[in-house]
Amino acid sequence: MAFILLGLVIEKITGEKYRDYIKEEVFEKIGMANSRFYSMDGINENVAEGYAMVCDAKDEFIGWRKNIYSYPPIGSPDGGAFTTVEDLDIFIRKLYSGEFLSKELTEDLFTPKVVYREYEKATVKMGYGFEFIFRKDEEDILLVTKDGVNSGVACKFNYYPSVDATVIILANQDCNVWAMAREIQELLVGKL
């Protein structure tokens, strides 16, 4: 609900449709050439369709079904934009470097606001749109992360500032992108 309201605020302030504004002021402005809001009833080259797991009454996997009826026919502020790993890498690098937003907004966006979870070896803090993971008793951000899952799609997005590495996993089916990301994370920065 919050992202839908945010989209309406953008439309009210700019006088533009949300999708048009995001296309011009985000995707095109920073060079995300393969990111768009595609109409799902159209023919779209190089666009993967999502597949949701189908389980029987015993919750056992029996097959896949297209997720086309799980979403509106075209994306909205709360989801439905199509992108690529390369474009998401461009996005985080432009954002983190301060090339996209003002210095003040960039600093605010990448400043953790509240403690969300405490673990034995790590602390997770929330900010505006991102989670920040710190090793216990360390001040430097180990990981800036965002993830999401919906019927037939999953995404895990990790940026490691200390090694300037981005790990992005996009899936067009129900799958555990988090386990894959953890394995890569252990290679980059060790176990948490």
Looking at residue 43, which CATH number applies to its domain? 3.40.710.10
**Sole residue written with tokens 């996993």:** 169
Three-state DSSP state, 29 = helix
Whole-number Å distance between alpha carbons of 25 and 86: 18
Per-residue b/e over 68-94, b at no fewer than 16 CB within 10 Å?
eeebeeebebeebbbbbeebbbbbbeb
Q: What is the pLDDT of residue 188?
A: 94
**Integer Cα distance of 18 and 167 in angstroms:** 28
Domain tally, the chain: 1
User: Which pLDDT belongs to residue 31?
Assistant: 97
Task: Give the pLDDT score at 137.
Answer: 85
Regions of the chain where pLDDT drops below 50: none
pLDDT at 94: 96
Judge contact between 17 and 74, C-beta under 8 A. no
> And the tokens for 37?
């809001």
Range(s) of the domain holding residue 154: 2-189
pLDDT of residue 29: 97
Read off the pTM. Answer: 0.89
